[in-house]
Amino acid sequence: MATLATVRAQLETVYRQESRRILATLIRLLGDFDLAEEAMHEAFFIAVERWQRDGIPASPRAWLVSTGRFKAIDSLRRRARFDRSQAQLVQALESLEEAQVNDEELEDDRLRLIFTCCHPALAADAQVPLTLREVCDLTTEEIARAFLQSPATIAQRIVRAKAKIRDARIPYQVPSLAELPERLDSVLRVIYLVFNEGYSASSGESLMRHDLSDEAIRLGRLLQQLLPDPEVLGLLALMLLQASRQQARSDAQGELVLLDEQDRRLWNRELIAEGCQLVQQALRSQQFGVYSLQAAIAAVHAQAASAEDTDWAEIVGLYDVLWQRWPSPVVELNRAAALARRDGAQAGLAAVEAILARGQLQDYHLAHSARAELCRQLGLLGQAREAYCRALELTRQGPERRFIERRLSEL
């Protein structure tokens, strides 16, 4: 026998720590996202009474999975009496009744769920919301706020993605070695998008969304434990190194503090040490990927005692390799910023203006901010003002807008 207070406290802990694992296993067993979620909540509801009477089980997760599965089968049996199309599904589920679920399977199921949510057959704009909803347990409203969409739009994307998984019978599994490179790229891309939205929110009054960046790091750690690929190590290292600066990125009023002006005593040295170790592991593989190289750049920043002590030549060199292998205007812009520190503002400005002259990044506020800052340093105040005004037009985040406004007032 257990008291109601004890049972509720235990269930709250289990739900907070284990509900996503339980849901992942139920999705695999039942083959349906909505049925699995309904079954999981039923299991938690039943546990309140049963655990008081019978005591808290040795493996609460396995108990909740089994109970949820049986409740789903009972529910489908009742439906099958009125809908013959359900009979085959009930028969298939009944074959799983005696199956045992262990902790290793629960861990594997979490990885399977991530790969399912990021399957290339799903629309790209649905992969992130589905991952946040099913893997990270964010509400539709939270996801909508993070990505400047209406809750109805996000809900529709999630519903369509679930229907696609069901109708196309997308396998609920970690891909084979032959499929892994393509599938892993999609998973890593989604996780890093989630992290970036948390590290620097695209809109709103907060500079950061710690819930999103923390979730992305949690997923990165999970992938590292279950799939220690060099690029997984590189992505986790990159997120840890960037997250190490979070406390110094804003002042007491929540206003933006640029990298050069940050109090490096506030940087998290434990995250830096862990991130640098992972960078070394990733680079030792000689399989230099886009995340590993970005993590190497972040490590150079993290290990510098000050902005002046930063090895800008090494950073430019790493950006050269990154740009040669994965050319993109954003990588080129970041290289231009490093070039300005190595060779002077005029060299950096020429590189930024070359990007804009090609018509690239015209709607990217950071490109105009970079041009404005370099013009300001060179005394080209009219051009700096023009570029800051364009950046302000494109910026939707409160702290960034106020930072640009302060720069304009100084000019």
Chain segment 92-120, per-residue pLDDT in tens = 555 555 455 554 454 568 778 888 888 88
Q: What is the pLDDT of residue 208?
A: 79
What per-residue confidence (pLDDT) applies to 94? Answer: 57
Contacts of 147 (CB under 8 A, 6+ apart): 128, 129, 154, 197, 202
Query: What SS3 class is residue 200?
Result: coil
Length, in residues, of the chain: 411
Give CA–CA dist 76/72, Å, rounded: 6
What pLDDT score was predicted for residue 254?
85
The stretch 218-225 carries a mean pLDDT of 86
Is residue 190 within 8 A of residue 209, CB to CB? The reply is: no
Token code pair at residue 339: 């070039």
First-last CA distance in the chain:
72
* Contact of 210 with 248, CB cutoff 8 Å: no
CA distance 214 to 219: 9
**Is 62 strand, coil or helix?**
helix
pLDDT number for residue 238 = 97
pLDDT in the model for residue 82: 64
Cα gap 132→121, rounded to integer Å: 18
Q: Say how many CA atoms lie within 13 Å of 184 toward its Cβ.
A: 22
Does the pLDDT of residue 88 top 70, yes or no? no
CA atoms of 264 and 205, how far apart (whole Å)? 24
Cβ burial, residue 67 (10 Å; 0-12/13-18/19+): buried
pLDDT higher than threshold 90 for residue 347: yes
Q: Are 370 and 350 in contact (CB under 8 A)?
A: no
Q: Which residues pair with 250 in a beta bridge?
A: 256
Q: CA 176, 182, 187, 189: dihedral to nearest 10 degrees? A: 170
Give the model's confidence band at 241: pLDDT under 50 very low, under 70 low, under 90 confident, else very high: very high
Q: Tokens standing for 372?
A: 């404005």
- Mean pLDDT, to the nearest integer, of 74-88? 69
Predicted pLDDT of residue 327 = 92
User: What would the mean pLDDT of 82-88 be, rounded to a whole number?
Assistant: 61
- When pLDDT is averaged across residues 281-287 and rounded to a whole number, the result is 89
Confidence label for 366 from pLDDT (cuts 50, 70 and 90)? very high
Residue 153 makes CB contacts below 8 A (sequence gap 6+) with 144
Burial class of residue 9, CB neighbours in 10 A (0-12, 13-18, 19+): exposed
pLDDT in tens, 324-338: 999 999 999 999 999
For the record, the structure tokens of 404 come out as 């640009």
The pTM assigned to this predicted structure is 0.76
How far is the C-alpha of 118 from the C-alpha of 192, rounded, in Å? Answer: 13
Query: Binning pLDDT at 50, 70 and 90, where does residue 185 land?
Result: confident
pLDDT at 28: 84
Strand partners, 294: none
Beta bridge partners of 204: 397
Residue ranges of alpha helices (H) inside 244-364 are 269-284, 290-303, 312-325, 329-343, 345-357
